[in-house]
């Protein structure tokens, strides 16, 4: 415990880190499983995320992106999910990362269903704004796989 | 035994005095995230939870580097991870390692791996390369966890620390 605390307190402060906010909306295809109440595989997605970028040099940066979202509004379903992506930003244009994503279910015994999310994005820079186009993939687990395409807006 | 104790403590007391013997070497503290993929040599058909031999890993770790002042340093690593999310499993895992870093880039360490199962403790060996990229470090490590029942595990991980 002492090592944990002293390491965190003593680790040097990054000189060029930044915290951005992002809101994205888009489309998700997810396989139908009996544990969920979706009637169609085609779902809408609305997502908010924070993007903490750890600046490196040579065009490689690292980032941590916790996010929360709701899926299925087009079917009058509001299924929340959270995720946390760890990854790398290559230059100013591309990111790739992966991390856990957890969605909720009506099942009393297994309310939270964890999976992994692999995400890549193309960052468009328009008039000083950043427009990320993200593609997400959740590998199949217990019959559920997800593909997601979103477009968003990132601000400081 | 008495002779051994006498020799042990007399060696300490007679050890050559170094000018800064009372001051500990400088320690550098770091922390960061780690993620990667692993393979376990457990047959999923014989296991009640596993559906695949492949396991996704994500975790957080702390590093302490005892700076030797030359080409070699001593490193301590404490890591907590969650394994198996690709199979919707949430298997906690902890590691504590001690080892060496060569030329501020290459690491070799070993220690204890803990997973809350029937046989919770295993040895862990890790080796890898950590290039410094600006203010951050991006580690690449290969980790091997042997097992007497041949249920060994191996992970390839990367991440970021600072």
CB A123 within 8 A of CB A93: yes
Region A111-115: mean pLDDT is: 91
Binned at pLDDT 50, 70 and 90, residue B8 comes out as: low
CB A15 within 8 A of CB A126: no
- Please give the ipTM for the structure prediction: 0.71
Nearest beta carbon to residue A3 from set B58, B64, B87 = B64
Mean pLDDT of chain B: 87
Domains in chain B: boundaries: 25-161
CB-based burial label for A149 (10 Å; 0-12, 13-18, 19+): middle
Integer Cα distance of A61 and B140 in angstroms? 15
Residue whose token pair is 């941590």: A64
Mean pLDDT of chain A: 87
User: The tokens of A145 are what?
Assistant: 């796989």
For residue B92, the distance in angstroms to the closest alpha carbon of chain A comes to 13
Grouping H, G, I as helix, E, B as strand and the rest as coil, residue B87 is helix
**In the CATH scheme, what is the code of domain B25-161?**
2.40.160.20
Which residues are within 8 A (CB) of B106 and not within 5 positions of it... i.e. 6 or more apart? Answer: B127, B128, B129, B130
Q: What is the pLDDT of residue B34?
A: 94
Q: What is the pLDDT of residue A108?
A: 77
Q: Is the Cβ pair A7, B86 closer than 8 Å?
A: no
Which residues are within 8 A (CB) of B162 and not within 5 positions of it... i.e. 6 or more apart? Answer: A11, A12, A14, A54, B30, B31, B32, B135, B136, B137
Percent of chain B with pLDDT over 70: 86
Q: Which of A52-61, A116-125, A139-148, B56-65 has the lowest mean pLDDT?
A: A52-61
**Interface membership of B62 toward A (CB under 8 Å):** yes
Alpha helices in chain A (DSSP H): 2-10
Grouping H, G, I as helix, E, B as strand and the rest as coil, residue B74 is strand
Binned at pLDDT 50, 70 and 90, residue B23 comes out as: low
Residues β-bridged to residue B35: B58, B158
For residue A59, the distance in angstroms to the closest alpha carbon of chain B comes to 9
Q: What is the DSSP string of A89-136?
A: EETTTEEEEEEEEEEE-S-SS--EEEEEEEEEEEEEEETTEEEEEEEE
Integer Cα distance of B114 and B108 in angstroms? 19
Q: pLDDT tens digits, residue range B84-112?
A: 999 999 999 999 999 999 999 999 999 99
Binned at pLDDT 50, 70 and 90, residue B21 comes out as: low
For residue B150, the distance in angstroms to the closest alpha carbon of chain A comes to 26
Q: pLDDT tens digits, residue range A66-87?
A: 999 999 988 888 899 999 999 9
Please check the confidence at residue A107 and state whether its pLDDT lies above 90: no
């Amino acid at each position: 415990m002492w090592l944990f605390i002293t390491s965190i307190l003593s680790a040097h402060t990054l000189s060029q880190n930044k915290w951005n906010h992002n809101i994205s909306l888009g489309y998700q295809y997810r396989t139908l499983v009996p544990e969920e109440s979706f009637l169609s595989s085609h779902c809408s997605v609305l997502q908010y995320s924070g993007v903490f970028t750890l600046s490196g040099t040579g065009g490689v940066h690292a980032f941590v992106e916790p996010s929360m979202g709701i899926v299925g509004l087009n079917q009058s379903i509001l299924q929340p999910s959270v995720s946390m992506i760890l990854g790398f930003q290559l230059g100013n244009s591309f990111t790739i990362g992966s991390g856990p994503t957890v969605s909720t279910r009506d099942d009393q015994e297994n309310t939270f269903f964890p999976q992994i999310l692999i995400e890549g994005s193309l960052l468009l820079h328009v008039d000083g704004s950043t427009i990320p186009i993200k593609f997400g993939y959740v590998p199949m687990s217990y019959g559920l796989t997800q593909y997601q395409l979103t477009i968003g807006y990132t601000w400081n | 035994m008495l002779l051994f104790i006498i020799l042990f403590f007399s060696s300490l007391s007679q050890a050559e005095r170094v000018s800064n013997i009372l001051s500990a070497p400088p320690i550098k503290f770091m922390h960061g995230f780690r993620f990667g993929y692993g393979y376990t040599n457990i047959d999923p058909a014989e296991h009640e939870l596993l559906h695949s031999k492949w396991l996704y890993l994500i975790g957080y770790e702390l590093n302490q580097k005892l700076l030797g002042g030359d080409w070699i340093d001593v490193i301590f690593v404490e890591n907590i991870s969650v394994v198996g999310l690709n199979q919707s499993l949430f298997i906690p895992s902890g590691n504590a390692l001690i080892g060496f870093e060569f030329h501020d880039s290459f690491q070799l360490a070993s220690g204890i791996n803990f997973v809350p199962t029937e046989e919770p403790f295993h040895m862990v060996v890790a080796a890898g390369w950590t290039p410094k990229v600006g203010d951050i470090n991006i580690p690449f490590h290969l980790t091997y966890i042997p097992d007497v029942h041949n249920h060994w595990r191996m992970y390839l991980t990367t991440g970021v620390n600072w």
